[in-house]
Amino acid sequence: EPEVTQTPSHQVTQMGQEVILRCVPISNHLYFYWYRQILGQKVEFLVSFYNNEISEKSEIFDDQFSVERPDGSNFTLKIRSTKLEDSAMYFCASSEGTSYNEQFFGPGTRLTVL
Amino acid sequence: AQKVTQAQTEISVVEKEDVTLDCVYETRDTTYYLFWYKQPPSGELAFLIRRNSFDEQNEISGRYSWNFQKSTSSFNFTITASQVVDSAVYFCALSGQGGSEKLVFGKGTKLTVNP
């Protein structure tokens, strides 16, 4: 069964460093998403991406964040200068394209900022 | 604005008990979609069910059942004869009618099923 994959599973970085989280969505899906979950809290939407551009972004997704689909398979989230409060689990998701289609989530990348 | 409320933060039951997880939502959209996801201790998010706003039929899948009531803006989830493997955090989520609509999640209910 096709699945969303994410690498790395755990990333530890120093405050102020740049990190890139990688995701490979399901191959025939058209919409891609990043969510984050601070430990013990709810899952929060960051950004959605379609047709090589951002469709929607939340207030959390400020200038420190960027997304890219550098090739036909990868979907990346970059945080330019990490802060302590960026420590969270980051989930990538993809869907075929309509609200009726569920979003399939990857296993997540746990980001720890020291 | 869309909002999902899961008032139960934590529930603890003994195996074989039935348990209902509550979900109340708010939206101004006339067409919307409701979801339940399961997050076991390993951390991944597993899709359980999707419902659209025009389909108020209740659904049963094995030991799981869902009760959607538009009149009370609720989409409750019942596990019958709970098992230890059901222990997880369960999230209710809502999306609007657009093709790329984000999911708005509730805060989740942590279910612990004790042997």
End-to-end CA distance of chain A: 37
The 10s digit of each residue's pLDDT in B4-19 is: 999 999 999 999 999 9
- Over residues B33-37, the mean pLDDT reads 93
Residues of chain B with Cβ-Cβ distance to A97 below 8 Å are 99-100
- B56-B62-B68 Cα angle (round to 5): 15
Q: Helices H, strands E: what count in chain A?
A: 0, 11
Of B61, B57, B56, B90, nearest to B73 (Cα)?
A: B56
What's the pLDDT at B99? 52
- Separation CA A50–CA A61 (nearest Å): 16
Question: Within an 8 Å CB–CB cutoff, is residue B66 touching chain A?
Answer: no
User: Which of A99, A104, A110 shows the shortest C-beta gap to B98?
Assistant: A99
Q: Is pLDDT of B79 > 60?
A: yes
What's the pLDDT at A73? 86
Tell me the HSE value of B109 on the side-chain side, using a 13 A CA sphere. Answer: 23
Residues of chain B with Cβ-Cβ distance to A3 below 8 Å are none
What's the pLDDT at A71? 86
CB spacing of B33 vs A50 below 8 angstroms: no
The 10s digit of each residue's pLDDT in A86-102 is: 999 999 999 987 656 78
- Separation CA A64–CA A80 (nearest Å): 5
What's the pLDDT at B21? 98
**Pairs of CB atoms within 8 A across A/B:** 65
Of A93, A50, A7, A56, nearest to B35 (Cα)?
A: A93
The 10s digit of each residue's pLDDT in A43-85 is: 999 999 998 999 999 999 999 999 999 887 899 999 999 999 9
